[in-house]
Chains A and B, each alone.
Chain A
Amino acid sequence: MANKKKKLYQGNGACVEGAIYAGMSFYGGYPITPSTEIAEGCARELPKLDRKFIQMEDEIGSIAAIIGASVTGRKVLTGTSGPGYSLMSELLGYAYITETPIVVINVQRGGPSTGLPTKVSQSDTMQARWGTHGDYNAIAIAPSTVGECLTETIRAFNLAERFRTPVTVLLDEVMGHMREIISVPEKGEYEVFDRVKPTVPPEEFEAFAMTDNFVSPMPSYGEGYRYNVTGLTHDVHGFSTNRSDEATQKLDKLRNKIDRFTDEIFKSRLEMVEDADVVFISYGTVSRAALQAMQIARQAGAKVGSIQLYTIWPFDYEMIKKATKNCKTVIVAEMNMGQICHEVQKALDPSVKLATLQKYDGEIITPMELLEKLEEVL
């Protein structure tokens, strides 16, 4: 352990390392600040590993290409920022309904539209849940250190393959460009999940068969199953349907495979929450400041705790309610005009007050700002 290899990484670069570790072998992307280093890293590294990199003509083409590669059996990645994520919304919907595993890293910048290309933001939190039209459930996760950029990207691939669904990794400009020394993972150090393939012969195969965990085994193109993939609402064979019972069954499948496994997907870090009067709730870069503010407050004698969300979606309302039921106030801090705070509000016990710290000027939230907010509520 003492001899473990250490290396200086940028957040975006650590995502590339994590993806490669997880077995990603196809990257399709389009340059956009502040995510471009992900594409550049893949362009440099993937050919050396006999894996594929392609720069597409736009973000719609990028997500189309990776979905195409995923149905042929590869683990696939694209990286982007808000404007590109908006374009990808179109085919994120296609990946949701066709249950195609893909990972999208969104290194957030200020919006709307072109917004603040080089400035930090967390204003795509809701877009990661509701970005494309129609009903579906989404998975989105957020790292807060460069080391976590690596490990959470591995987790993103595991979730995408396990649940046959798109997973969004929400970085932000600061997280993407921050540099830290991290441990280079060794082979076997982290679990890597590969998608479940069908074991039945092709004539018995149902492409979207109902299973105990609502996830259907997924063959690769070329393996003899010759099934149909369509963005139209489809039956268990993958053929379009207008039947209301089959439409209901399909959408329920999309919901249940994630909703009923929230325990498995949800990940958070609780620090000194048990006896806390005030609890910070945060995610991504803000969690760094929240932890520091908590420590300063504790040294000064205030009972302050912190909940960091690694999984943003699905949101675990029960867990938040349980963890905060004995505190007086929860402070939700995020770099937007208030997004996850609405979910926290829904989760909180009526006896617990909600306070918010919202910043949307393109600068990070500092520990001092959190301490000022703390003083207000104490």
Chain B
Amino acid sequence: MATTEKQKSDVMLNYLRPQKKFPSVWCPGCGNGIVMGAFLRAVDKLSYKKDDIAMVSGIGCTSRMPVYLDFNSLHTAHGRALAFATGVKFSQPRMKVVVITGDGDALAIGGNHFIHACRRNIDITCILINNHNYGMTGGQGSPTTPSGAISTTTPYGNVEKHFDPCELAKSAGASYVARGTVYHYPQLEKIIMAAMEHEGFSLVEVISNCHTYYGRLNRKGDAPAMLEQFKDNSVTTGKAKKMEPEELEGKFVIGKLHEDNTITEFCNEYQKIVDAKKG
């Protein structure tokens, strides 16, 4: 047992830059660490070479993740990660390009880049950690803050409607879409592996806890309490099919939501043009 634990921790240590940037900026109990663990174990199981991975992010708590990891890390500007990542991937299609982003980063300021990366179906894996608010700046409302929810910029309840990032990605042309939560760890690891192995644009939305702001303002309790809520409010895709829309209100449908391997991938299609035109 002891050996197994040690091996597990070695997997993590192998991919961290421990001498560089720890402790992290994340609050104790933040779901970001769980997602980072799942991502690293997925990378390890898939045996990708560190040099072949480019990890690109924007601005926000989630976007600090690449800085802690021993890959080619590109910590960019707010909302722009997918546009930078498009340049990296298109330039070097052999690289595995992963974008780690948050709900504000990807869906508000980066909304345009998000839908167009989906539309191109460029082979990038986008892990979107959805904590339903802007954590880094102190709990403001985001495009995924539910209607009626409290944030520091919706102190009387959110009057806006929220995006469903998975539906958005699917409609915009992404060829792989899945949702997990930070409670359902084994599933999350598998989803990330599947997304990274998928050729085309893959979105993994991860429902996560910002107990410091969103949780506190909406009386959802501490980190363990919020994880319990994710457990109670999640429905698997199989089960969801048998449920009425009203029953699914406020629930997170988790698992693979969409996969279409007939959609062509951007870099491959461009290469076909090059092969046909080059002298």
* Partner-B contacts on A (CB < 8 A): 26, 28, 47-50, 52, 54, 56-58, 60-62, 64-74, 76, 90-91, 94, 221-224, 226-232, 237, 239-240
How far does the alpha carbon of A239 sit from the alpha carbon of B80 in the complex, in Å? 19
Task: Take A222-B95, A228-B73, A237-B20 as given contacts and tell me if A47 and B278 are in contact as well, using a CB distance cutoff of 8 Å.
Answer: yes
Chain B residues with CB under 8 Å of A228's CB are 20, 66-67, 73, 75
How far does the alpha carbon of A171 sit from the alpha carbon of B59 in the complex, in Å? 34
How far does the alpha carbon of A221 sit from the alpha carbon of B90 in the complex, in Å? 13
Task: Take A57-B112, A91-B77, A222-B92 as given contacts and tell me if A52 and B86 are in contact as well, using a CB distance cutoff of 8 Å.
Answer: no
Question: Are B87 and A65 neighbours in the complex by a CB distance under 8 Å?
Answer: yes
Task: For chain B, residues 262 to 279, give those with C-beta under 8 angstroms from any C-beta of chain A.
Answer: 270, 273-274, 277-279
Question: Are A47 and B67 neighbours in the complex by a CB distance under 8 Å?
Answer: no
- Decide yes or no whether B76 CB sits under 8 A from chain A: yes
* Partner-A contacts on B (CB < 8 A): 20-21, 50-52, 54, 56, 66-67, 70-77, 80, 83-88, 90-92, 94-95, 112-113, 116, 270, 273-274, 277-279
A44 CB to nearest B CB, Å: 9
Question: Are A72 and B83 neighbours in the complex by a CB distance under 8 Å?
Answer: no
Chain A residues with CB under 8 Å of B56's CB are 68
Chain B residues with CB under 8 Å of A47's CB are 270, 273-274, 277-278
Question: Are A64 and B83 neighbours in the complex by a CB distance under 8 Å?
Answer: yes
Q: For residue B53, which residue of chain A has the nearest CB? A: A226
Give chain B's interface secondary structure class: helix
How far does the alpha carbon of A76 sit from the alpha carbon of B84 in the complex, in Å? 13
Give chain A's interface secondary structure class: mixed
B49 CB to nearest A CB, Å: 9
How far does the alpha carbon of A28 sit from the alpha carbon of B122 in the complex, in Å? 15
Task: Take A222-B52, A231-B76 as given contacts and tell me if A50 and B278 are in contact as well, using a CB distance cutoff of 8 Å.
Answer: yes
Task: Take A72-B92, A228-B73 as given contacts and tell me if A54 and B112 are in contact as well, using a CB distance cutoff of 8 Å.
Answer: no
Chain A residues with CB under 8 Å of B116's CB are 56-57, 61
Q: For residue A202, which residue of chain B has the nearest CB? A: B51
Question: Are B77 and A229 neighbours in the complex by a CB distance under 8 Å?
Answer: no
Question: Are B83 and A60 neighbours in the complex by a CB distance under 8 Å?
Answer: yes
Chain B residues with CB under 8 Å of A73's CB are 91
Which residue of B50, B76, B273, B278 has the most chain A CB atoms within 10 A of its CB atom? B76
Which residue of B21, B76, B87 has the most chain A CB atoms within 10 A of its CB atom? B87
Give 16 A-B contacts (CB < 8 Å), ordered by A residue.
A56-B86, A58-B112, A64-B113, A66-B87, A67-B87, A68-B87, A68-B91, A69-B91, A222-B51, A226-B50, A226-B51, A226-B71, A227-B72, A229-B75, A239-B21, A240-B67
